[in-house]
Structure 1
């Protein structure tokens, strides 16, 4: 009969290796099972020469195996040597097929039919053997090389290589491929969002540096659409983009080998593919005696994994009083709270109280809290002011908050215990939309934007909860009409978030359907076929809804609605929405008015299709031209009527004189259709491209929607590179000009407008070298009278408009009247 080990460790990655080394150190009978012929297969599969990071820096390492940041080869060499020195009982080429039995009497069956007995089992198998696959047309067609791992970047020469996925693994692969320019590779990396929430800050910094040096193409807000021979087609904010591609390296994360783990009798926190096993604070699974550590437990950083390996052996050995290595850090988070609890008590209290955190395991709670802060507020304390900068999310663990009026009275909007606030800044990047005040003794958890985005990406339950709450609040704010959260329950059950690429139809004229679509981000255009041609009816920005016209008739779509730019819409079940309308007469009356206006507009265009055909066609063509030139994602845009413009350049001169001598406007640049010109000036996009990568977070949105750059700008140029419309300049502040009166009376200074480079150079302060900084239109924020360019135009040719006011054929009705 085979010997029974006290501990069997499955998997020799950082977690399993550390556990085995500590078992050996304590003299506990153990066996370390590894399915390959070498230790630590995950690290072994890292690309050649990869720099392995030892983060978080503030965390103490507990392990009998050393670990310092360094090259992959050095780390593996150290571990091989110390594993041997510690006399760890390793069995290589031992793949586990099944685990049966119960605590104290487990049987591990290997693929070679060997059976191993153990009292306790530690699963440290990670998730890398189960990668998320690329699923798009052509992925299985052999059009190009597709792989899910990179061993040696030096193997590839003169190829167009695309890395899909911008977590740490994807970024490191891309950097490795682009490191040696002499190899001749053209490397691109694709990230589905504008944020790099899954990656370490150091990796993101290196990625941006490679991009700035021209060694890498960084494509954000993009997803694979299909693979063709030698090309990858992407869905981007601006529609389809086709890039040359010989090889795809897909690094899109991985998931637990769920079937095997569930066959071991271990339950998961939810049915989601990305869910993790349900574990106790001592790493014990729902099958007593089987412990789960490492990436499989939801804690993927190497230092965390090694600490878990040490700790779990201590727990099995009876040291239940041992506190995790991060305990002192977390104690510091709670030390100033008036309520005294242990770290474990606080973590469990917050997890159970805050709805969005209910699905987190104790381990995930610890990692999440390392990035977050806990604060206490007394009654009537202000947590943040309206228009304050900030994009973090707040969770109410205890107490409640409200939204006060300027005079201190409450609006009656109370956010209760267990809920969240601050989600508007999280979703839109805008400044705080309301002042938030505590109305009782309140404990809140503030989660930085990157931390909550990472949590939403890795824990599906968190994403669902945040999405539901933000959707509910968006609907309440948009519809008002006395609706309460309870009124929306049925409608929210039907809610589905859908991403729509630029130009894609949400629904088409003539189709069946009565679902309603709320525009969550981006914008859409509404068209109707007139005489066999699509006629532009209106532009609808985020915060509105479409599709309600079919609720009370035969359910045949009367219009086509398509995305003007990459957008997100909330699909609401038409039947549930109709019942909501019928139950709320005030809301019904409000919606009926909006429906009537849209139907009247369509009828008007249909009636005028013969007598007004040329005019209708012109309006439609102009509107489509403007949408194609970025107006579809604008919140405020400068337009010039060239029938009125006399070319005086007063607009540019006024802009410069209002902004330290530097104009934010190039009147002559830009495109023209008919008599309408779109000059090079900021559109103040709903989701600004320039904000996507600003290291000092110097770009903000003001209370009137203006996007502006503050004095913390470091001149890195990322915003200029990210703006697709060329509206940002990198400039040194010129010398101060004499006043216009001195120029007019005495000829002093360069005169109105932006001074010439020659004058600026000649009048610069000797010995003072001014740094460049980014400059762009700020809509003359803080200047009385509004935008200087519009006020200075002598003919009224320059106008600044919100697209939803300008882009509508309803103007024809006004003109006709």
Structure 2
């Protein structure tokens, strides 16, 4: 006969340990079962000297065991001491292989054949047993590993760390002290990491302690016998294939729940996605009565969250109902909702009314809502305007919103009601808002910031699927087939595929057989033809527009070559399905034929100005392909007076944001060193204090929150950001001209060289009603700021 206890706790990580300590503190018969020979195996395996963070910072700690940010060793020592003090009943090397029974009569089977009877079971086993591998050729080579115990054990090696989470960041930074390290991030920012680790890795990259390859995945890992390094990592990057010779690859890609074991215990998962977590109640009880799941296995890997759950689950088992630690925060948010009664009722109402959030467990939903804001706009209030550059995501809880779908006729609107969402197009594409949205009657919205939404998309595959499918439909409706309902577009949407192209990669070539139409959802493309034996760029097409309709309508070979100007995503609409739609929708065919005629004329004109093609191609390499605004100087008019620079400095505290002489010049057109205000700003993605923003009208600017870390300087590929300190008082441009640089009697203070430097860049004088000072100060009209589309027209007209 085995042990008999009231509560059997499986796993001694932070969640299980907190539960056992609370049970011991209350004198509840319990047994903590741990498969290893020590407590908290995951933290025990952390690299030596690792700093463990206490996040989320907004949550108070509720546990019978201490925890505060500090070194791994100190935390483990404190936990061991507390376990001994409370007399926690622990059995080590007890690997649980099965759980049978239900509430009041569970049998826990251990690998050695022994059993434990328990009235309740708390499953806190985490997910570290199922480590994710690279999933490519070479993932199990001798020099590839998925764990790092002691970074000091490696010296003078070339190491690639793969991953963007906390473990990958901490490993990379620790290894960089004695090795040459490159970290590979499949995204363009470290949005899965804790804020502290995000700042840590960005500072290390800025200081040159390690390198980072963004938007990259591992294609393969290969041995290199006889070479200086034992192997090589082959990466797929936005710029093409990259090969890095290495001594070692350390992949920290997280883990998947031990689903097979959990399902054998009778626990149900809400879906078939490999990353899905078990469905549990707000009291952490699974569908098996009396079996509770807490911690990382329930989708909450943060230590403080897990410890709070460990404390609370014992309280729930004992029949008490402690208020969750996040309750005051949620209550303050939900108080804005008309008719708010309780947190639990509101959470259930949100899950029931908003389908995209229904796959989230109650615990995941709580975390999601902690990051979101509740908005209750008045009827008619504008949520955002067409061409704004905001990128938050909105879910409609109550009421409705009106979306102006026609940029010319505001009376043509689309109504979205309770349960639907909007804002996904800017979230995914990074482009301006494609429509103006106004609140309807009784409107209650959940607004979620981009970083939090991206985190959800990355962790809940079903949410990503819904967003992608909705984006496809709405993008087709907005840009190609306005006024056509979803049912009529069903076959077209079903045939659509998302295509991704690296910078310079060909979408289709001149002479290719006619194929589908490509709607550009992210990035931009160039259109070129062979003229006089050489390729000439005829047009630039940004996201939100489409290419390929000419071959589709005429059923003739492609008349031009289309290439990605920058990393680009398109939605390819299969030709057969789209032609079938055109056959039933003459108004749509007429619309496309008009676009076709306009582009034929544009190509004729561009062909006549074929000499501009090389110029367009050159300027694409200078960042025009991802710009929203660019400063252009006509050298035939410029008199080199530098009034543009002086006006910029006068407007911005003595520091000019542009360098007139620097930058490329081709023919009579000069592109000085000045911010391009990119569609996807490189500077914005890695700003620790979140000091770089985009105004609703498009200007990318740096706020006073800048801490001077220099990450934006490093990330900008065009060298248009500098570090500078506020300058002493300077006379205005007009007084400078009048008095030769000094005002009579003016006192110029001595500049303090110790003043802290901060990042500075062009903000297009966003707070001045007259527009950019550099343009206004030019006495000859040589300077102008234009969009890329207008820039191309100017170039082709001047050739």
Q: What TM-score do you get using the length of structure 1 for normalisation?
A: 0.85
Going from structure 1 to structure 2, the CA distance change for 1:4 and 1:696 (only over 3 Å counts) comes to closer
| Structure 1 residue aligned with 2:788 | 803
- Deviation of 1:636 after TM superposition, in Å, equals 2.4
Does residue 1:634 correspond to 2:627, yes or no? yes
| Structure 2 residue aligned with 1:208 | 202
Q: Distance in 2 between matches of 1:254 and 1:445?
A: 30
- Deviation of 1:603 after TM superposition, in Å, equals 8.2
Going from structure 1 to structure 2, the CA distance change for 1:780 and 1:366 (only over 3 Å counts) comes to closer
Q: Distance in 2 between matches of 1:569 and 1:703?
A: 25
Q: Deviations over 1:282-306 (max 9, x none)?
A: 3232344433211111111112212
Going from structure 1 to structure 2, the CA distance change for 1:45 and 1:557 (only over 3 Å counts) comes to farther
Q: Deviations over 1:790-811 (max 9, x none)?
A: 5666777655443334548x98
| Structure 1 residue aligned with 2:193 | 199
| Structure 1 residue aligned with 2:123 | 123
Contact 1:20 1:30 in 2 (8 A): yes
- Deviation of 1:194 after TM superposition, in Å, equals 3.2
Does residue 1:680 correspond to 2:681, yes or no? no
- Deviation of 1:541 after TM superposition, in Å, equals 0.9
| Greater shift in the superposed pair: 297-306 or 5-14 | 5-14
| Structure 2 residue aligned with 1:757 | none
- Deviation of 1:161 after TM superposition, in Å, equals 2.5
Q: Distance in 1 between matches of 2:271 and 2:16?
A: 25
SS at match of 1:307: helix
| Structure 2 residue aligned with 1:304 | 305
Q: Distance in 2 between matches of 1:16 and 1:743?
A: 71
Contact 1:403 1:410 in 2 (8 A): no
Going from structure 1 to structure 2, the CA distance change for 1:13 and 1:502 (only over 3 Å counts) comes to same
The count of aligned residue pairs is 790
Q: Deviations over 1:563-586 (max 9, x none)?
A: 211123233344333333333322
Going from structure 1 to structure 2, the CA distance change for 1:742 and 1:446 (only over 3 Å counts) comes to closer
Q: What TM-score do you get using the length of structure 2 for normalisation?
A: 0.87
- Deviation of 1:358 after TM superposition, in Å, equals 1.2
| Structure 2 residue aligned with 1:776 | 761
Going from structure 1 to structure 2, the CA distance change for 1:10 and 1:339 (only over 3 Å counts) comes to same
- Deviation of 1:314 after TM superposition, in Å, equals 3.6
Going from structure 1 to structure 2, the CA distance change for 1:283 and 1:544 (only over 3 Å counts) comes to same
SS at match of 1:163: strand
Q: Distance in 1 between matches of 2:114 and 2:501?
A: 53
Q: Give matches, 1:259-278, under 5 Å.
A: 259-278=260-279
Q: Give matches, 1:58-207, under 5 Å.
A: 58-140=58-140, 145-178=143-176, 180=177, 183=178, 185-207=179-201
Q: Distance in 2 between matches of 1:398 and 1:296?
A: 33
Q: Distance in 1 between matches of 2:209 and 2:798?
A: 54
Does residue 1:450 correspond to 2:443, yes or no? no
SS at match of 1:394: strand
Q: Distance in 1 between matches of 2:533 and 2:97?
A: 64
- Deviation of 1:674 after TM superposition, in Å, equals 6.1
Unaligned runs of 5+ in 2: none
| Greater shift in the superposed pair: 74-83 or 434-443 | 434-443
SS at match of 1:283: coil
Going from structure 1 to structure 2, the CA distance change for 1:389 and 1:573 (only over 3 Å counts) comes to closer
Q: Distance in 2 between matches of 1:58 and 1:321?
A: 22
Q: Give matches, 1:711-750, under 5 Å.
A: 713-738=706-731, 747-749=740-742
Going from structure 1 to structure 2, the CA distance change for 1:765 and 1:641 (only over 3 Å counts) comes to closer
SS at match of 1:626: helix
Q: Deviations over 1:215-237 (max 9, x none)?
A: 23344344334446555444444
Going from structure 1 to structure 2, the CA distance change for 1:659 and 1:99 (only over 3 Å counts) comes to closer
Q: Deviations over 1:666-725 (max 9, x none)?
A: 233223456654332222211111212334544333455333345554544332222111
Contact 1:495 1:570 in 2 (8 A): yes
SS at match of 1:690: coil
| Greater shift in the superposed pair: 740-749 or 501-510 | 740-749
| Structure 1 residue aligned with 2:11 | 11
| Structure 1 residue aligned with 2:701 | 708
SS at match of 1:162: strand
Q: Deviations over 1:325-344 (max 9, x none)?
A: 33333223323543132211
SS at match of 1:726: coil
| Greater shift in the superposed pair: 786-795 or 436-445 | 786-795
Q: Distance in 2 between matches of 1:409 and 1:506?
A: 35
- Deviation of 1:42 after TM superposition, in Å, equals 1.0
Contact 2:398 2:442 in 1 (8 A): yes
| Structure 2 residue aligned with 1:625 | 618
Contact 1:123 1:291 in 2 (8 A): yes
Going from structure 1 to structure 2, the CA distance change for 1:385 and 1:604 (only over 3 Å counts) comes to closer
Contact 2:62 2:308 in 1 (8 A): yes
Q: Distance in 1 between matches of 2:292 and 2:737?
A: 83
SS at match of 1:256: coil
Contact 2:517 2:572 in 1 (8 A): yes
- Deviation of 1:349 after TM superposition, in Å, equals 0.5
Unaligned runs of 5+ in 1: 752-759
| Structure 1 residue aligned with 2:49 | 49
- Deviation of 1:164 after TM superposition, in Å, equals 2.1
Q: Distance in 2 between matches of 1:767 and 1:677?
A: 35
| Greater shift in the superposed pair: 517-526 or 671-680 | 671-680
Contact 2:647 2:733 in 1 (8 A): no
| Structure 2 residue aligned with 1:284 | 285
Contact 2:518 2:572 in 1 (8 A): yes
Contact 1:299 1:367 in 2 (8 A): no
Q: Deviations over 1:29-61 (max 9, x none)?
A: 443332222221111111111122222344343
Going from structure 1 to structure 2, the CA distance change for 1:538 and 1:111 (only over 3 Å counts) comes to farther
SS at match of 1:341: coil
Contact 1:430 1:702 in 2 (8 A): no
| Structure 2 residue aligned with 1:348 | 348
Q: Distance in 1 between matches of 2:664 and 2:149?
A: 47
Q: Give matches, 1:294-443, under 5 Å.
A: 294-317=295-318, 319=319, 321-380=321-380, 390-402=390-402, 412-423=413-424, 426-427=427-428, 436-443=437-444
Going from structure 1 to structure 2, the CA distance change for 1:518 and 1:750 (only over 3 Å counts) comes to farther
Going from structure 1 to structure 2, the CA distance change for 1:550 and 1:93 (only over 3 Å counts) comes to farther
| Structure 2 residue aligned with 1:754 | none
| Structure 1 residue aligned with 2:520 | 519
| Greater shift in the superposed pair: 592-601 or 367-376 | 592-601
Q: Distance in 2 between matches of 1:321 and 1:654?
A: 65
- Deviation of 1:512 after TM superposition, in Å, equals 5.9
